[in-house]
Amino acid sequence: MSLTVPTPHINAQKGDFAKTVLMPGDPLRAKYIAETYLENVKQVTSVRNVLGFTGTYKGKEVSVMASGMGIPSISIYSYELFEGYGVENIIRVGTAGAMNKDLKIGDIVVGMGACTNSAVIKESGLKGFAPIADYNLLHTLCLVAEKHETKVKVGNLFSSDLFYGSGEDFVQKWSSVGTLAVEMEAAGLYLNAAKLGKKALAICTISDSLVTGEATTSEQRQTSFNEMMILALETAISL
């Protein structure tokens, strides 16, 4: 599908986005990242209050834009960024619920792969496809994490279409095969990147635990996961 800009859901002009975009789910988290870490910031899109910004981090151009919640939403925005605006790399910076008893609130997990219960794989005509991160992005992030002495856990995420009602055996079943955490976007992002020849990676901070029942507040999720944000930004300028 050929796209012209502005696209149906992004009112930025051509050239407004950097080659690498950080993508949190929450528009206010996108705003927080832009205002806290970027210089020379310009808001480039605001359709439906899904905010996007471009600025510089340590002298290099980086963009940040919200994805909204769920695979359908991130699939729309990532497709338009990749196909309409020439974005090459999208790094999701999100939150996830721990399914591993060893993960604590605030730990950082990196999605080497993303299992899913979504119909997005089947509807794309690629039944059986296994969505995975781009190796270069993953390798770069791991090198950055080591340099900054930031601990990360790399493994499988589960991208769920359900926030409530996954079933009583959900955690046990998926944690038994080593799945680290559940979130709602990575599989859709990875699928789009694979189909379009682009690069994607999902980094998530553990915001709650499906094992212990611990949870953070919405305000904490919006503004407090600075270690993950810095890690993503340092990765972006290392590409």
- What does the pLDDT profile of the chain (239 residues) look like in tens digits? 679 999 999 999 999 999 999 999 999 999 999 999 999 999 999 999 999 999 999 999 999 999 999 999 999 999 999 999 999 999 999 999 999 999 999 999 999 999 999 999 999 999 999 999 999 999 999 999 999 999 999 999 999 999 997 887 999 999 999 999 999 999 999 999 999 999 999 999 999 999 999 988 877 776 668 999 999 999 999 99
Query: What is the pLDDT, as a whole number, of residue 196?
Result: 97
Query: What is the pLDDT, as a whole number, of residue 169?
Result: 92
Q: Which pTM was predicted?
A: 0.96
- Is 17 within 8 Å of 24 (Cβ atoms)? no
Query: What is the pLDDT, as a whole number, of residue 2?
Result: 72
**Cα angle 86, 236, 192; round to 5:** 45
Helices (H), the chain: 27-37, 71-85, 120-123, 135-147, 170-175, 186-196, 218-223, 226-236
Selecting among 16, 26, 107, 208, the annotated active-site residue is: 208
Q: Which of left, alpha, beta for 84 (phi over 0: left; psi -120 to 50: alpha)?
A: alpha
Element (H, E) at 116: strand 108-116
SS3 call for 239: coil
Q: Is 102 a catalytic residue?
A: no
Rounded Cα distance, 35 and 128, in Å: 41
* Domains identified in the chain and CATH numbers: 20-236 (3.40.50.1580)
Q: Which of left, alpha, beta for 197 (phi over 0: left; psi -120 to 50: alpha)?
A: left
Rounded Cα distance, 53 and 5, in Å: 16
Residue the block writes with tokens 């699939």: 75
Residue 109: how many other CB atoms lie within 10 Å: 24
Nearest to 156 by CA among 136, 183, 137: 183
Q: Which residues contact 96 (CB under 8 A, 6 or more apart)?
A: 109, 157, 180, 181, 182, 183, 204, 205, 206, 207
Query: What is the pLDDT, as a whole number, of residue 37?
Result: 98
